[in-house]
Amino acid sequence: MTKTNSPIHQQVSRAVSWSPSPREQDRARIRKLILRRRILVSVISSAIVLGLFVTVLITSPGWKVVKTTFFDVNYGRQVLHLVARGLITNIQLTIIASIAIGLISLLLALGRTSRSAALTPLRFLATAYVDIFRGIPLILVILLIGFGIPALQLQGVTSNVFVLGTTAIVLTYSAYVAEVIRSGILSVHPSQRAAARSLGLTHNQTMRHVVLPQAIRRVVPPILNDFISLLKDTGLVSILGVIDAVRAGQIESSRTFNYTPYVVAAVLFLLITIPLTRYTDYVLMKSIDKQNAQGAA
Amino acid sequence: MNVLELINLRKSFGSELVLSDVSLTVPEHTATVLIGASGSGKSTLLRCINLLDSIDDGQIILDGEEISDPLIDVDQVRRKLGMVFQAFNLFPHKSVLENITLAPIKVHGLSRDEAIAQARELLNRFGLSDKADQYPDRLSGGQQQRVAIIRSLAVKPRLLLLDEVTSALDPVLVNEVLAVVRDLKQDGITMVLATHEMGFATQVADEVCFLEHGEIVERGTADQVLHDPQMTQTQDFLRRVHEAGRL
């Protein structure tokens, strides 16, 4: 892109004195008509789809039963505080886990991308770690850690289910996030490394000051995505007996044989995850805009 | 005194021979200009000098020390060399000032204040003082390349390597970058540069080397090589450059 040297005030005054030609006014009118038609079409199609969906739901033979056993508003109000208290456990777990995941995954990613001979065992271990924990379903890791570690009867090792559940989640998610960070590191163009090294920066300095800052910026959207998954997956620790939102709902519904507490838990999760998802989307769009702008410069 | 000496350099990528028997001597305060078609080995030669690419055979001697020795500390060698790239390679996440001060602070142990003062002086000298806090993507290509040159100057290199520094610029912006290089030549900075700008080569070169298929086919002063070439390959190349309107 060429930048001309014409003074800015000149461009401004030219912009102010402009008034659209009759042809352009015509075009503007037509554009407005096209836009109006597009809006109309999208409203109608949305109404049809939604209407169809609701119709199928409420005309289904079991709707009456489902309505009382899943969507009992009064019962929902009663159990809200129990489930909400459980959700606080999910949030605590998410925060603690994400800090640990951040540190461990960064070390794993750096380990896997290092070239130093002395770090060969680290590279090997990091690769093995990622292969193993990315390949086992999270629920199995939770069960194996949650029941396996206490069974070892090791001195000083906790049998607290909250701690064990968190550990299992951290182990699995660190493997995922490490891969995301590693892909970010590898996506920084080699010419950036060449420029840094030719200035005399060592491999570590290049990593620290040139590659990582750019890599992390690039992987923020996918990592936010993983963060949302993490929040939801904390519900899985309920199988160890941790009283989180899922478990609180389960306790209630097994008492009354009404599944409304599950729906309450789902709604509470959505109240957190939807804003997070929208925010992630916003960050992603912004980073794409920025990259496109850089591409044009 | 010779800053750089290349003896029988050989380099291949797979089965393709990129540099063959290249020997070159660069005395202090001189500019050596490499010319030749794209793919003739100019960029590879510069990257080999900088140890960004390894050589297959031969010797590279910098200030009397053989840097092609596998036991050499690569980071120590690169402290003495500056390199400017065709695509600028500025760090997009750092401001102009941060781009320039990174190596002086981290590699050469200058204090932040010293490094900033030195960077501002250089920016001032090359007419970019108002761009210190901008990010690279806000600058024109010519400005970016001038910042890249300043960045490599800030580490006070013994030898400056310039790899087709104007090839990514449109014709209007080429001159502002070439003016900077001419200034550096005036200062007596030793450099090796690859370029397609023949007129510019005439102005700065103490020696011009014409490369073809990884070999130095002809060398001499700019007058000899560019205006009175002896070898038919050189004559052919220059005729093609001339036809393209670039002489």
Interval B176-226: pLDDT, tens: 889 899 999 999 999 999 998 888 888 889 999 999 999 999 999 999 999
Q: Is the pLDDT of residue A250 over 80?
A: yes
Taking residues A19-45, report their average pLDDT.
Answer: 94
Residues of B numbered 104-133 whose beta carbons fall under 8 angstroms of chain A's beta carbons: which are they? 106-108
Domain CATH number, residue B199: 3.40.50.300
Per-residue pLDDT, B104: 95
Backbone phi and psi for residue A205, each to the nearest 5 degrees, phi listed first: -65, -40
Residue appearing with tokens 């590898």: A186
pLDDT > 90 in chain B, percent: 76
Residue A297, pLDDT > 50, answer: no
> Roughly what angle, to the nearest 10 degrees, separates helices B141-153 and B96-106?
20
Nearest chain B Cα distance for residue A226, angstroms:
24
A6: pLDDT strictly greater than 50: no
- Whole-number pLDDT of residue B241: 86
- From B91, B138, B155, residue closest to A192, measured CB to CB: B91
Q: Is the pLDDT of residue A278 over 50?
A: yes
Q: Is A7 on the interface with B (CB under 8 A)?
A: no
Q: Contact at 8 Å (CB) between B177 and B149?
A: yes
A291 — pLDDT class (breaks 50, 70, 90): low
| Residue A114 pLDDT | 85
pLDDT for residue B173: 85
Q: Cβ separation of B152 and A201 shorter than 8 Å? A: no
Q: Is A155 on the interface with B (CB under 8 A)?
A: no
Q: Which residues from B are below 8 Å from A201, CB to CB?
A: 75, 102-103, 106-107
Residue A259 near residue A74 (C-beta atoms within 8 A):
no
| Whole-number pLDDT of residue A12 | 56
Contact with chain B for residue A213, Cβ under 8 A: yes
What sections of chain A are H helices per DSSP? 8-16, 22-59, 63-70, 73-113, 120-135, 138-152, 161-187, 190-198, 203-206, 212-233, 245-256, 260-296
Task: Check residue A2 and give its pLDDT.
Answer: 43
Gap from A296 CA to chain B (nearest CA, Å): 9
Identify the pLDDT of residue B112.
Answer: 95
Supply the pLDDT for residue B84. 95
pLDDT at B72 over 70: yes
Residue B201 belongs to what domain range? 2-243
Whether residue A140 has pLDDT greater than 90: yes
Judged by CB atoms closer than 8 Å, whether chains meet at B89 and A3 is answered as no
pLDDT of residue B200: 87
State whether A217 and B93 contact (CB < 8 Å).
yes
Query: What integer pLDDT is reported at residue A9 of this predicted model?
Result: 52
A202 part of contact set with chain B, CB < 8 Å:
yes
Q: How many helices (H) and strands (E) does chain B have?
A: 9, 10
pLDDT at site A154: 82
Instruction: Name the phi and psi angles at A89, rounded to 5.
Output: -60, -45
pLDDT in tens, B112-168: 999 999 999 999 999 999 999 999 989 999 999 999 999 999 999 999 999 999 888
| Residues of chain A with C-beta less than 8 angstroms from the C-beta of B62 | none
Angle between helices A161-187 and A120-135 (to 10 degrees): 120
A11 CA: distance to closest CA in chain B (Å): 18
Has residue B247 got a pLDDT over 80?
no
A145-156: pLDDT as tens digits: 999 988 888 887
Using the beta-carbon criterion (under 8 Å), do B85 and A191 form an inter-chain contact?
Answer: yes
Candidates B50, B73, B77, B78, partner chain A, best to mutate (most A CBs within 10 A) = B78
Quote the pLDDT of residue B196.
87
- Closest-approach residue (CA) in chain B for A212: B93
Query: Using an 8 Å Cβ cutoff, are A194 and A240 in contact?
Result: no
Closest CA to A243 of A165, A157, A137, A140: A165
Task: Give tens-digit pLDDT for A202-248.
Answer: 999 999 999 999 999 899 889 999 999 999 999 999 999 888 999 99
Name which of A202, A186, A196 is nearest A110 in CA terms. Answer: A186
| Percent of chain A surpassing pLDDT 90 | 67
**Cα Rg, chain B, nearest whole Å:** 18
Q: How many CB atoms lie within 10 A of CB A143?
A: 15
Confidence check: pLDDT of A296 > 50: no
What's the domain count of chain B? 1
- Return d(Cα B23, Cα B28) in angstroms, integer: 17
Tell me whether A55 touches chain B (CB under 8 Å): no
The pLDDT score that the predictor gives to residue B246 is 59
User: Per the CB < 8 Å rule, is B75 touching A200?
Assistant: yes
* pTM, 2 dp: 0.82
pLDDT of A13 = 58
pLDDT digits (tens, 9 = 90+) for A70-97: 999 899 999 999 999 999 999 999 999 9
Mean per-residue pLDDT over chain B, rounded: 92
Give the residues across from B25 on adjacent strands: B5
Cβ of A205 and B93 within 8 Å? no
The percent of residues above 70 in pLDDT, for chain A, comes to 93
